[in-house]
Structure 1
Amino acid sequence: MRDTIRFLKNGEMVELENVGPTETVLDYLRLRRRDTGTKEGCGEGDCGACTVAVGRLIDGKLIYQPINSCIQLLGMLDGAELVTVEDLTNDEKLHPVQNALVEFHGSQCGFCTPGFVMTLFTLYHADSKEESRKTVIEWLAGNLCRCTGYRPIVEAALDACFETVDDVFSWRANQTREKLQELADSRDIFIGDSSKFFSAPVTLDGLAAFYGQHPDATLVAGATDVGLWITKQLRDLPKMIWLGRIQGLDRVEESPSGVLIGATATFEATEAAMTRLSPDLGELWKRIGSKQVRASGTVGGNIANGSPIGDSPPALIALGATLELQSAEDSRALPLEEFFIDYGKQDRGADEFVTGLFVPRLAANQAFRCYKISKRFDQDISSVMGAFRFTIVDNIITDARVVFGGMAGTPKRAGGSEAALKGASLDDPSTWGAGMQSLLTDYTPMTDMRASAEYRMETARALLAKALMEISGTPAKDLRVLAKREADHDRAA
């Protein structure tokens, strides 16, 4: 067992033994090191001012990814390289990204600039990137500029980020890989005592045994949600178990029958596999958080936290995903839809934890659609999330799975609508009305800051109609007739 964390900073190893369970990377940088180039903005991983880069060996390659240091726990840096804006200059010469921002006047008040610099640094080092404005905008979706300076920032990125990589980090890449390999070991980490600690086991059996002894501990994978418990809810979380060092828990295994996703596999790591399952699923994955969030946040964490407005569960339930759970005594699998019992309550024993899930592929006669509705297109929480899978024989729906998030206390299937849609013809939109009407009794949505109950219900019905229209190829004019018929029905009721 090891009672320190170890990581690289500016080419040198840093070893820390005094690491609090909820200490963030941002606090370490600003309060301990006095490296104040990294800024604190929103404190919730939304504005990007605190962005730093983390380098890790992924399948033997050195990959730099942006993270929000305000919600990333310090202990989670173990085995990685931390890069901040202070590290980029070489002999007082600006990094190519920094120089481009100067040349294109990409900084106004300057508060957000270090975060932009670090996100663009990771784009500069990224493999297999398409040189386009769209790529830059997608990469920068998690960085906000309140001085409305996006045009020159984008132009600076187009100028600098698609050239041959030539900086101090590329020059010493082989040395960095060697040092990261030296940091990798098979020892559990435990810093603290039995009442307050940061722990990072390396095996599932070790996690099961340790969690069985401390079922009141907080399990953390990417900290994109747990980080907010600390910075916004100000929770006291004295016992922290990080899952990021457990060997094999980040697996993404594709097979003819489906995709097996380990509990610590990030949204970034699973995006390609999800896109191959369904283009709609791939588009949804791109809209979950920002580059920073997807690089850290995990699919397993999005499920285990049980949010009724989590983006991935409705789509995964519609696809018929199966969840894997383990404890010190046993392991089991259950349909994902059965995991969510009530608001804030999941079917998980006191010492059980999520190890992964299996997502089956669509059969040849199945069609899938999913849609996320939110006030902002990028990195926003859903108002309504709808997902639909239909089994079709001779253009007749023989089975339907209709699932919504944001419409109830949990992600929930619409049983009445599913039953009403069986036997509906894709050639006859008039047979779809019963399924849309049944949503009125399947859900009782609430009104909150994101949407009213009325908006949610109307949107849910519209999304179901949209899915059916797209799958059947129904012209929009026929859908308008159906919508008018439904509106007349509602008024009469």
Structure 2
Amino acid sequence: MATIAFLLNGIPQRCEVSPDTSILTLLREHLAETGTKEGCASGDCGACTVAIGELAADIQGFASANACITPAHQLQGKHLVTVEGLAKEGHLHPAQEAMINCHGSQCGFCTPGIVMSLFTLHDELTQRPAPLTPERLEATLGGNLCRCTGYRPIREAALRMNDLPFKRPQWYDAALSEAECLPSLTAATDASSFFAQPQSLVELTQLRQAAPQARLVAGGTDLWLESTQRLAQLDQLIDISRVAELLTVEEATLERQAGWWIGAGVTYTKLEPLFNKHFPTFAHLLHRLGSQQIRNRGTMGGNIANASPIGDTPPVLLVLGAYVELTNTYGNRCIALEDFFLDYKKTALAANEVISRIFIPQAPKDSQLRIWKLSKRREDDISAVLGAFSYRVEQGVLHDVRIAFGGMAAIPKRAQAAEKALEGSNISVEAFRAAQQALEVDFQPMSDVRGSQQYRQQAAKNLLERLYLSLLTPDQEVMLHAYAH
């Protein structure tokens, strides 16, 4: 069992729960707080959205999260806010009042989650005033589904809530005592149960050496589905979300390449400033990687370690020439990402190793990066096919061509035959037809619920066609932009 101390709507709580307890289960079954609803139990619908805040004096604000797939033990020393805590002394929070005034609720089941997403947006706009752009509003509400309203009144509520008077509740400044903030200790109730929450990489690797069978959990956005969807027991866990070395982003050089070391535990949300500045195309992809709730929790290290053939970031990292650092108690080794993926869900990671960092080289100034994701829904959906393309154009000739796809093989994989067909070629119909034919050498995709083999093969060829048309008309987009407004 794990003992956790945290604030719930400003009130100190101390609970003892099993390692695989979610925040949703903690709220509804242990604390009898039933305002937070379970909809999909997979982080898709947003009905269970809650807000989590840090208690450190230099960190302010709340981030939305899906309570159904967020481990309860990660609340240790943090502040959890639910829909029950927003109204104080008879006064509704502006997010609640605006939803009422704009008739943003009908059946009401999804409403608590929508209100909590709006609460985090209101909190952010209050602390750091800025225009509420359509893109920002879509990012905030993209993870909240509603079957009743058609979203227009919800959008109106979001636009109006900041015009309503707001008095900051006292619980914003609540704090835990130093004793209550002590981290959870390693707990093992019997031979079949194991839980630990290390604070350093040294401690993590020692635990990994001692318990190679334990599952590592960072954001839990994929791992926790084994509990909610497959009803599997996650009773052997090492929570890496507090390991300091895994939470850093550092500018550095590797093998004479300038770039950035990104800790395996850094969330997508924390990566947005770096990507917006240096990899804007990659930053745009993040807007289609899950929802805001998922991006607040999910990590690039987890996306790589999961080794899914349809993970969104690996194809991009492959064309950028990324490396991964693997660490154990004896030291670390650094390998190219393309050598990390071996077969379906199989990697070069040894049983006693963890992914500690990812190195992304700085792209040359004259290189270009294109990323296109195909999925059934525009956002908050898993890829059917994702194509990433990196290249330079010099006097109409393609150089340094790197192409990678997700969803086309058992692993994220480079299209080396297609690369060879384009390398050193003019931007011409003939070169791109040859590259499209070469894709049949590079890939023999499988058929599943997201697409048949024929669909995937044709979709990959069409993405090459889109690249060709984009190169012919570099000043305009050849297809509707995913975030056109």
Could you tell me how far apart the structure 1 residues matched to 2:340 and 2:436 are? 26
State the Cα distance separating 1:469 from its structure 2 match.
3.1
Equivalent pairs, count: 471
Asked if residue 201 in structure 1 is aligned to residue 198 in structure 2, the reply is: yes
Q: How far does residue 149 in structure 1 lie from its aligned partner after superposition?
A: 3.8
Q: Output the CA distance in 2 between the equivalents of 1:438 and 1:231.
A: 41
Any unmatched runs of 5+ in structure 1? Answer: 480-493
Q: Does 1:281 align with 2:278?
A: no
Letter in 2 for 1:274: F
Query: Is residue 429 of structure 1 aligned with residue 391 of structure 2?
Result: no
Query: What is aligned with 1:320?
Result: 321
Paired position in structure 2 for 1:191: 187
* Partner SS state of residue 188, structure 2: strand
Q: Deviations over 1:90-134 (max 9, x none)?
A: 012211111111111111000000000111100001135432344
Shift of 1:238: 1.6
Asked if 2 retains the 8 angstrom alpha-carbon contact of 1:367 and 1:471, the reply is no
C-alpha spacing 1:108/1:272, structure 2 compared with 1 (3 Å): same
Q: How far did 1:242 drift?
A: 0.6
In structure 2, list runs of 5 or more residues that go unmatched: 480-485
Name the residue aligned to 1:455. 455
Q: Which amino acid aligns with 2:261?
A: L
Instruction: Please say if 1:369 is aligned against 2:365.
Output: no
What amino acid does structure 2 have at the position aligned with 1:100?
A: A
TM-score (structure 1 length as normaliser): 0.90
Instruction: Give SS of 1:359's match.
Output: strand
Hey, what's the Cα distance between the residues in 2 that align with 1:80 and 1:9? 9
Letter in 2 for 1:350: A
Q: Is 2:94–2:166's contact at 8 Å kept on the other side of the alignment?
A: no
Amino acid paired to 2:456: R
User: Using a 3 Å threshold, how does the CA distance of structure 1 residues 163 and 291 change in structure 2: closer, same or farther?
Assistant: farther
Distance 1:451 1:164, change over 3 A: farther
Pairs within 5 Å for 1:439-478? 439-473=439-473
Structure 1 letter corresponding to 2:80: L
Q: Distance in 1 between matches of 2:107 and 2:2?
A: 42
TM-score, normalised via structure 2 length: 0.92
- In 1, the alpha carbon distance for the partners of 2:161 and 2:178 equals 30
Report the equivalent of 1:420.
Answer: 421
CA distance in 2, matches of 1:93, 1:164: 10
Change (3 A) 1:182 1:139: farther
CA displacement 1:51-105 (0-9 Å, x = unmatched): 1100125792212011000011110111210001111110122111111111111
Aligned to 2:28: 30
- Rounded to whole Å, the distance in 2 between the matches of 1:459 and 1:163 is 48
1:14 lines up with 2:10 in the alignment: no
Contact 1:199/1:242 (<8 A) preserved: yes
Look up the match of 1:156.
157
* Residues 445, 457 of structure 2: 8 Å contact kept: yes
Matched residue type, 1:235? A
Structure 1 residues 405 and 106 mapped into 2: Cα distance closer, same or farther (>3 Å)? Answer: same
CA 1:433–1:125 in 2, change beyond 3 Å: closer, same or farther? same
Distance 2:454 2:281 in 1: 26
1:248 paired residue number: 245
Give the whole-Å Cα distance in 2 for the aligned partners of 1:412 and 1:396: 24
Contact 2:77–2:176 at 8 Å: present in 1 too? no
User: Aligned pair in 2 of structure 1 residues 133, 432: CA closer, same or farther (>3 Å)?
Assistant: closer
The alpha carbon displacement at 1:183 in A equals: 5.6
CA distance in 2, matches of 1:397, 1:65: 43
Contact 1:133 1:154 in 2 (8 A): no
Separation of aligned partners in 1, 2:277 and 2:178: 32
State the distance in 1 between where 2:177 and 2:382 align: 36
Question: Distance in 1 between the 2:383 and 2:151 partners?
Answer: 25
Q: Deviations over 1:166-212 (max 9, x none)?
A: 331xx554x34x54887655x56313335313210001000100110
The answer as to whether partners of 2:9 and 2:171 remain within 8 angstroms in 1 is no
Q: CA RMSD in A?
A: 2.3
- Counterpart among 103, 106, 113 of residue 105 in structure 1: 103
Among the aligned pairs, what percent are the same residue? 40
Specify the SS of the correspondent of 1:94: coil
Hey, what's the Cα distance between the residues in 2 that align with 1:180 and 1:363? 50
Instruction: Pick which of 109-118 and 256-265 moved more.
Output: 256-265
Which residue of the partner structure matches residue 237 of structure 1? 234
